[in-house]
Amino acid sequence: MIFDFTASVGMLLPVLSGLMLFGMTFGILQMIPTIKVKNRAAKLIEEIPHFIGYMSTLATSGLTLEGIFKAIAKEYTDEDIVKDSRFIVRNIDILGMDLISAIKDLIHRTPAGPYSELLEGAIVTVQSGGDLKEYFNTTAKVQLEEKKMLMQKTTESLESVAEIYTILLIVFPLLAVIMLSIMGIMNPSLAGFDLLTLMNILTFAVIPLSGVLMLVMMDTWCQRDKRNGKS
């Protein structure tokens, strides 16, 4: 009876392992596009305030919207906006699209947010015969103000994290070591544990894990502030 049960488990184990591996692989593959979209959206938010000023300067010099994208496409950098400008130029020069269609094609491939709104606004400005210089100047001011507010929120969050870090990873370990050292004079053990073992656990387990927790908290708060800034 026991042998039959063991044999059954031995036969099911590879199947269950395969199903678990399949589920994990499927889940990871489903998450990858979402992660890439979020990363691209975050990078675009970081780049927009700087490139809008450049676009405004190019528009002031008399370049058309197509000329602005071509000028940006010639930059020897790996920023996403430069890559997008090269994408627009490729659509125009190689695929024969007009400027509006090329930009709309890029918008369909771009995460919703300030960057796609910038491109849509540029299309409306060109189609309505508006002033590109005024449009980019106004948008640049708005983006810079949002950037300042985002940096202020992030700084306030990091100040809170710094206070928690000071208490959790500096003050608490020092107090714990002092208390354990004093207790060791009177009793070498605490709740059945050797005090030296407790100090080792504190040094090599509690403090490193607390450091990792602090990093996770910092990343979570910074991402939250970016999402709030984008919204």
Q: How far apart, in whole angstroms, are the C-alpha atoms of residue 83 and residue 149?
A: 28
User: Residues near 70 by Cβ (< 8 Å), separated by ≥ 6?
Assistant: 85, 89
Would you say residue 5 has pLDDT above 50? no
- 10 Å Cβ neighbour count for 169? 17
Would you say residue 79 has pLDDT above 50? yes
Would you say residue 4 has pLDDT above 80? no
The per-residue pLDDT for range 114-133, each reduced to its tens digit, is 888 888 888 888 888 888 88
Can you name the residues that pair with 190 across neighbouring β-strands? 193
For residue 192, what pLDDT is reported?
64
Would you say residue 155 has pLDDT above 70? yes
**Torsion (CA) 125, 127, 130, 136 in degrees, nearest 10:** 20
Q: How far apart, in whole angstroms, are the C-alpha atoms of residue 128 and residue 181?
A: 77
Can you name the residues that pair with 194 across neighbouring β-strands? 189
The per-residue pLDDT for range 29-65, each reduced to its tens digit, is 777 777 777 777 778 887 887 888 888 888 888 888 8
For residue 2, what pLDDT is reported?
46
**Torsion (CA) 33, 36, 38, 41 in degrees, nearest 10:** -120
User: Residues near 98 by Cβ (< 8 Å), separated by ≥ 6?
Assistant: 92
* DSSP for residue 94: T
Can you name the residues that pair with 189 across neighbouring β-strands? 194
The per-residue pLDDT for range 190-219, each reduced to its tens digit, is 666 677 777 777 778 888 888 888 777 777
For residue 227, what pLDDT is reported?
52
- The 3-state DSSP class for residue 73 equals helix
Report the chain's C-alpha Rg in angstroms.
28
CB contact at 8 A, 52 and 118: yes
